[in-house]
Chain A
């Protein structure tokens, strides 16, 4: 006991540090052009060889001994500032960076962002600045956040026309996607052709594939953190683009000069252009709106309100109308308690809605998920060696699995509300980022999350607590019949879970340009996206954990090697990872999930694992730059029988998950020919998606029925594709306020017919069986005119 106390004392001593009298250098870094704060800017004191980064709100704080120093402020795509600072007392110093491509030629980037990255105990994280994304090929006339991250190692998707993305073999519902801290449940417009993020309105994004800091929780595979722009608080600006598929417009400006700003961005596709169906009564389109209001009360207090609203609308002859989309609202208060202690309080609402009207069958269908999230986060810059991040948040979830109602009296359908579900998810966390020695930095933290499934709801009871029973005679799993029900009143706890989630990552610097890093993280996920299709559909519903659907628990370890070459012109990142997941839901054969009030009767808890090697090589400078990423990985799951008699799902054997892509290569390059023309390209190649092909057929009741081997033992043909784009900036831009550019793009240059699926069917005319490939995109050219003033 005494020994333990001594350890704790030593721990705190090491945290707070002793020694010379220190002063604090703090402030905000922003973009000269629009006063937009910048995230992740390196602030580096060369004499002391120490540095820090700006946080999500552009704030930095670093403690230094009294003295005179040279401060270097650098950020990719911006001109580095080097400034002498005299610090005999606490200094508040704001910096304003100028975009480097605004300067003509001869831009010397003295320090690359990657240099200091090497020391930071952060791995499996990819950052793409919005400037980089905007240089990448504009697919279908627009650059796209989700398509950009697909060029990074460890990131794949299910293919064309399919929503979501997969990180390190995880499934799409295991990604936490947050836009200004608010959860986005569906990242796709038009089934994945566009993402819901309007790049014009986005400031920055960060993708965590591993080593996830403890401030994040609730999803097991990854975090994609996206920040909206704050809006220009000095001048009024507009920009936009007019394309052949969609158009967009952004307006920003001051409400109160230098204090308050607004930003509105809207985007919409054209309603009828997509459909080649002859009938003009059909339409398919999407639109979205981004808004942000920022107000700086004083140096220590900032207020923000941000919102997003997006919808997809499909309508076939008004007899089939489908509407879905996300809406989020976030109110934030930034407060500086001192120049060492930064805080942010957020109140967040997010909502995903799915609605369907099938007039010819005669019903309406509504479903959705809502959550209310209160979050308080602190960033405590204790000393030059130690930073603390801690906070708490509480989320209230409200699930509507579906409400069905007749559209007319003759429909024959009875109104039915599937049981609504409620849950409460509070958590607390602490993270410590500590520079132990010059060479060794460590980031360690802990998150404690709780989950309460709440009433009011009537819960089925089953014999032996088994909602799925095994039929030994037929060797199949079947729904159990409830033996009774139990009613839980409003806010009464139906089931609860608690999990400790330790996170740790270590960086060891071998020399100025090389480091090795290692990380471990445990994550838990209490929500499940109920889906047994090969790829998620917008119709899939979210459901909370309960006694039958257990929370998913993930353990991941990763090891990495990071190196900068030739004055940081080139960087190399190599990582390996191993993930193990408990309680991965699996569905019994033929499970019906739509409008199913008793999901527990068709699911079993299984396990999953994934492992792989990722290589990312980048060229950071010069006329030609870009990156090559390669991933070799495996992702599997299995659901063994609960007892010795049961076969389990797929005979209890491991099988490849839909996210398994053995090889995945992406080559992204950007070339600036001259002031007028620049070009970019992406080549991507990945192993085909695992699928199950028939291994025989038989005749039953006049129809042909295929037989199958075990799950996912086949693969679709290899997927590959080349996209190109060219940007023309007319000369006349130079001396005027109006800035225009033309973007020409070609998607799938050599028009490869990549298989979105291979289906096997009996030809209705010949009666013979055949394999049919569905390919969605051939070559697609596009042109967009972008403007700014």
Chain B
């Protein structure tokens, strides 16, 4: 919530400042950047869509690279598996040469604890998380007077917060008119027990476009992680109203060499999805 507010306010401030004068402008410039040594990145998000078995899951391994590079190096030849609290082990097998490790017999269970193990270059990385439940997306609403200018299309997806506990959510938007997914994290701090909503506006959104909203139940640890990560990713970085950026550490620990940590996060979410045709 706070992050969202900050984002809105800083966007607003930038809007004000840039619309201020006749000549303010943004242009793409060449800035030389140094490149740090590559580091392992573990993208392990287990998603269990409501109404599915959730047996098929993918974990991606890659490394960091030069900031301007257009290709991301993948990591092959690692051993990847998850064990649950009942000592059941689920193995993830690489589709050769892709860095994508797939499991077909995963068994999701709400609030069950899972431990991820990745063995690569004789280093053992582990992380432990629980699978977090999510409410259903119960309705959707569209208005024509949203956004800053008040004349953009705006879509709200509604869901009911559980008032008995603190909840954390990841909101994901995919659409036919954007290339990249958009994320937001929100907690129920100001909304405890209320009907909550994910709000989407985009000046490029037109009638008959498809907008897909996915709601993920997440832990507080992951909420904190994504809160920071989203702050530095996706073009927010570098605004004068931005917080000092730093590399974001996730929940993955290198058991062999503590300082050679991996980036990324291991989390498990129940999810609900709704697709909407823009009117």
Contacts and interface: CB of A to CB of B under 8 A. Distances in A.
A365 to B, nearest CB: 8
Interface stretch (A61-69, A274-282, A332-340, A486-494): A274-282
B123 interface: no
A258 interface: no
Interface residues of B, number: 98
A3 B253 CA distance: 67
Given A284-B20, A701-B43, A712 B244 contact: yes
B119 interface: no
Contacts of B245: 692, 694, 706, 708
Nearest to A781: B22
Given A696-B67, A774-B18, A774-B26, A594 B2 contact: yes
Interface in A586-603: 587, 589-596
A132 interface: no
Given A592-B2, A696-B36, A696-B66, A776 B18 contact: yes
Interface stretch (A156-164, A205-213, A724-732): A156-164
A705 B41 CA distance: 11
A696 B64 contact: yes
A474 B251 contact: yes
A404 B261 CA distance: 40
Contacts of A594: 2, 5-6, 9
Contacts of B261: 475
B246 A708 contact: yes
Interface in A661-701: 691-701
A749 interface: no
Interface string B227-253: 111011111111111111111111101
Per DSSP, chain A at the interface is: loop
Interface in B22-49: 22-31, 33-36, 38-39, 41, 43, 45
Interface in A411-461: 412-414, 416
A760 B17 contact: no
B199 interface: yes
A691 B247 contact: no
Nearest to A158: B240
A773 interface: yes
A706 B232 contact: yes
Bin chain A's interface residue count: 35 or more
B235 A762 contact: yes
Contacts of A760: 67, 235, 237-238
A703 B234 contact: yes
Nearest to B261: A475
A570 interface: no
Nearest to A412: B194
A574 B132 CA distance: 64
Given A697-B64, A757-B240, A777-B21, A360 B36 contact: no
B63 interface: yes
A694 B33 contact: yes
B9 A317 contact: no
B122 interface: no
B246 A693 contact: no
Contacts of A589: 228, 244, 246, 248
A134 interface: no
Contacts of B275: none
A313 B232 CA distance: 30
A407 B21 CA distance: 32
Given A587-B243, A700-B263, 12 more contacts: A191-B13, A360-B146, A474-B249, A534-B240, A537-B10, A590-B231, A594-B6, A595-B190, A711-B244, A760-B238, A770-B68, A779-B23
10 contacts: A191-B13, A274-B19, A316-B150, A590-B224, A699-B43, A700-B43, A700-B264, A764-B178, A764-B179, A778-B25
